[in-house]
Structure 1
């Protein structure tokens, strides 16, 4: 792969068209001609560009998959899976990160069907909802995965309404025609593969549901490939880089960043089936000589604790998203491993990366500058003086939402603009800083208080524990803040003292602190605020000792 040149770090600031008051912030220019193809066509082009024998992916057991292996397996499996389905029909994938998931994704895509990536940590209700939204009748999985993951109850529940397809069975029963399709595809792929429009749906992903019922996100081929090319333009990557990806492929970070990006850039993708195996992961990073690690703050903390001095020395950067990177995390990685954390910001609706810092232009505490081709505007929110509600537009922004209440009925972004629901500031150099979600502000006595600030204060005091804040109704002030923490000796007095010494409003001191064994998290590593809210509500509804007195105002 030719060396990539980083984009101009300073974004342009263009005036809003007549009739609108907000400023539009724009990333560098972006050539959309590169994305007018399907994701499978892009894979075939990568095979031709980098050579069929080049290693494309490495599985958890060390098995290496070349581009030839990947394309041949995709044609064979895809030919077997397409029987009984129609072009454009959704076929679900219930698999961990690994070559099985990668092959299944491309196999379904090769013949013009649409992969629907299911979050196996979400529970049967959420998965049934996802299948209903995408009108999915078949689910591709593996018996070994069901066995190792102890997912028999989930399997049985899904099998009531869906046809379960097991990779082991398909592999053992490949027909002569399946094998012929694979052979022909290797020499004349144009004669076998489907030819979807770049604007057709390429994947159905489902939001994490941190604040409600998950929605289906429809991303086109052009959306996914745009994000790959945007990152290529923005971050300097090298031919000898190796990407280590423990993030799930049902999450857009794991799919685009951990699979599509390296495969399209000729960089080996090292797969790991779960981000939770910290000791195994740090050893595999060393064994594979990985140079780029994808993670979240929660997981990178675990890896740092599990790693010996030599385990992470091959890494030149860790790319973190999905949640805020704590100062303590950044300092520990720098001090103990000389490892720089490059923090970014994304969401499923943006396929997923919207902004990211660059190793040579890294501003801690921010999530970097807009990717090329992205536009942003901030809409003022009553009660919030600093920043505004972020709306985004660009070639990577989804086609729209689908919901189980109206399967495959597309809810498109308004004139291409998607409301992220996040409160953001953008500085003079174009760096974005996330202040929190609109839904994660509490209104106390008429003043808006960010729950993220509450959590940051707790993290500064007790960095080795996890914390999550929730807002509950309060008769006197409108709302009250409740903090869940794993810090066994957490007390309000310490938070009051911290607030006074650091200029934090005392309104950000939680009315009650609830010590829990663990703070609920999703399979992606993000805090599960839906469960946090329910836990706080249940705890406050349970008769207990009187709440600690509030500090004097």
Structure 2
């Protein structure tokens, strides 16, 4: 098998196999009757447009390995530019705009971009902060090139299409730097290789039996890359991808029905809003063949509501487990959760994330907070015992960009291979299924032993008036006091002291009925728990612990 693996070649293959199939569909506005107008590109058009852009990038000065920050809103142009950058041999830097200005500048300056393909505002900030980006000399503005060199999308396109030979890359050549969400510390740049993207496409396609000709609505923009590599049409959703918890359900539903969407991906926060809206208005989504949701465990109420929207009895909501550094690892479907694992989850067993993907190995090892020099030094635990989750497979990234200490902490050498430490704790059951018990950094270390967030929070989430909860520890590690912070369902927040006392007693009774949570004596109420910027669902327990300490003084 050839080691040539430029991920953009997968788009070229799709263009050859299905030249006239729509590759990307974009909502370009609404008419007076509220109907969407759509613009689109076929696979052949997308392939040729990205060829023209790639030639322009090379004329601009982009060379193999050039690091280019891509800061463009989801659109036809975003997808064309992504493949053009790959075709030119560039390394794409992708960052969540929702992480805030200071974080964005810090993260970008850390990876030293040599150029920006970005909207005018980002280019203006780059110029104002030029000392943070001393190497950024190759710049393209998406939109009117204000205060820039005048090089824009049209300039990159150049003249008419002519055959273009993309820059060949090997499986281990760098393809992108994608930042973690920063839910358990500062965001870190994860180095992706072309072969890793190639493996991700094959793993997802084969496991979920995704067929060419399907239509996908991805709530995460980069997933359009996977679609184009599979011969699947991408419908760009009319939403702010950095705020899935604020999605307008009616817009997504209209697009699903307009385009006959067969697959849709979104965070649990997105499906929570859409599922509740569908339940209120008795809406079903007959075209869907599968729904995917990731970023955090999908609550049972979300699974139940979404399954009510499906018409085809074989349609289900699937939860792939993984991380920016390693995706996918395992998967479970909604019917399996409801029929086999939800009762155990409710009693504190953790969240079952399913069976590992074929070709992906998973081990549970004794929990450590220091680097592990080799796999022989890791003590593997037997089924049923909670420990660190480590994984090995072709989709696992091998390093953080220019972060040798973080890389050493997250990777375990194993001969010529390596294991990635997920930063999660969990266990394998007797059947080999993987259970997630929380983040290692979120464990509460009490005098009587560790407490695991996902296991304990599930006990309190059973209360009908509680939307979600967070376990935090107050005090020094080894003698922490466990505290549960709850976010009631909308309209159920106890405003009076008597209502608060009543709900507190009901929650304490739930906790005392389970040995995992019987030591919890403090319940705090929060109107809206802080969550991550990417999925709007991972709870920022680091922010809640200091808040809780102030509340109980």
TM over 0.5: yes
3-state DSSP class of the match of 2:12?
A: helix
Q: Check if 1:391 corresponds to 2:395.
A: no
Cα offsets for 1:300-351 (capped at 9, x unmatched): 111112234345232122111110011222222234546622122011111x
Change (3 A) 1:510 1:97: farther
Q: Tell me which residue corresponds to 1:93.
A: 70
Secondary structure, aligned partner of 2:386: strand
- 1:486: how far off? 4.8
Q: Residues of 2 paired with 1:123 and 1:78: CA distance?
A: 30
Partners of 2:3 and 2:199 in 1: how far apart? 6
Query: For the Cα contact (< 8 Å) 1:483–1:512, is it kept in 2?
Result: yes
Q: Any conservation in 2 of the 1:124–1:158 contact (CA below 8 Å)?
A: no
User: Aligned-pair RMSD on alpha carbons?
Assistant: 3.3
Counterpart of 1:368 in 2: which secondary structure? strand
Q: CA deviation at 1:165?
A: 2.9
Aligned pairs (5 A) from 1:307-326 = 307=278, 308-326=281-299
In the alignment, the residues of structure 2 paired with residue 141 and residue 476 of structure 1 have an alpha-carbon distance, to the nearest angstrom, of 48
Q: Does 1:49 align with 2:17?
A: yes
User: Which secondary structure does the structure 1 equivalent of 2:533 belong to?
Assistant: coil
Q: CA deviation at 1:359?
A: 7.9
Asked if 1:521 is matched to 2:499, the reply is no
Distance 1:77 1:347 in 2: 31
- Calculate the TM-score normalised by the size of structure 2: 0.79
8 Å CA contact 2:474, 2:549 repeated in 1: no
Report the counterpart of residue 431 of structure 2 in structure 1: 429
CA distance in 2, matches of 1:80, 1:449: 55
Aligned match of 2:91: 114
Cα shift at 1:202: 0.9
Q: Pick one of 372, 375, 379 that aligns with 2:361.
A: 375
Q: How does 1:146-545 map to 2 (within 5 A)?
A: 161-162=132-133, 165-168=140-143, 169=145, 170-171=151-152, 173-174=154-155, 178-180=157-159, 183-185=161-163, 189-190=164-165, 193-247=166-220, 249=221, 255=222, 258-272=223-237, 273-274=239-240, 275=244, 276-279=246-249, 280-307=251-278, 308-335=281-308, 337=310, 340-350=316-326, 352-357=327-332, 364=341, 365-381=351-367, 386-403=385-402, 414-415=413-414, 416-462=418-464, 465-473=467-475, 477-483=479-485, 485-486=487-488, 488-489=493-494, 491-501=503-513, 504-507=516-519, 509=520, 511-529=522-540, 532-538=541-547, 540-541=549-550
Distance of 1:408 and 1:500 partners within structure 2:
41
Q: 1:472 to 1:100 in 2, by over 3 A?
A: farther
Q: d(CA) in 1 for partners of 2:471 and 2:409?
A: 34
Q: How many residues align?
A: 485
Deviation at 1:125, TM superposition (A): 2.5
Q: Structure 1 stretch 71-80 or stretch 340-349: which is displaced more?
A: 71-80
> Is residue 71–residue 116 contact of structure 2 (8 Å, CA) maintained in 1?
yes
Query: Where does the alignment leave 5 or more consecutive residues of structure 1 unmatched?
Result: 1-32, 250-254, 548-553
Contact 1:366 1:431 in 2 (8 A): yes
- Separation in structure 2 between the aligned mates of residue 159 and residue 281 of structure 1, nearest angstrom: 39
- Gap change, CA 1:537 and 1:407, over 3 Å in 2: closer
Give the conservation status (yes or no) of the 8 Å contact 1:521–1:528.
Answer: yes
Contact 2:443-2:452 within 8 A present in 1 as well: yes
Distance in 2 (alpha carbons) for counterparts of 1:260 and 1:517: 34
1:502 and 1:335, CA in 2 relative to 1: closer, same or farther beyond 3 A?
A: farther
- Conserved in 1, the CA contact under 8 Å of 2:190 and 2:324? yes
Higher relative contact order (CA 8 A, sep 6+): 1
Q: What's the offset of the Cα at 1:435?
A: 1.3
Q: How does 1:130-145 map to 2 (within 5 A)?
A: 130-143=107-120
Distance 1:359 1:521, change over 3 A: closer
Q: Do the aligned partners of 1:374 and 1:392 also contact (CA within 8 Å) in 2?
A: yes
Between 390-399 and 464-473, report the one with greater CA deviation: 464-473
Contact 1:486 1:518 in 2 (8 A): no
Note the alpha carbon deviations across 1:477-533, whole angstroms, 9 max, x for none: 3343352525522643222111244554313x363414234533323223252xx42
1:69 has 2:36 as partner: no
Q: Per the alignment, in what secondary structure is the counterpart of residue 73 of structure 1?
A: helix
Q: CA deviation at 1:408?
A: 12
**Structure 2: stretches of 5+ with no match in the other structure:** 29-37, 146-150, 342-350, 370-380, 495-499
- Give the TM-score normalised by structure 1: 0.79
Q: Residue deviations 1:211-267, cap 9 Å, x none? A: 1111111111100110111122222223442111122x3xxxxx2xx2232212211
- Alpha-carbon contact 2:285-2:309 (below 8 Å) kept: no
* Pair 1:387–1:72, CA change in 2 (3 A): same
Change (3 A) 1:407 1:429: closer
**C-alpha distance in structure 2 between counterparts of 1:291 and 1:451, whole Å:** 35
Query: How many angstroms apart in 2 are the aligned matches of 1:320 and 1:386?
Result: 27
Evaluate the alpha carbon distance shift between residue 87 and residue 141 of structure 1 in structure 2; reply closer, same or farther with a 3 A threshold: same
Quote how far apart the aligned CAs of 1:117 are. Answer: 0.4
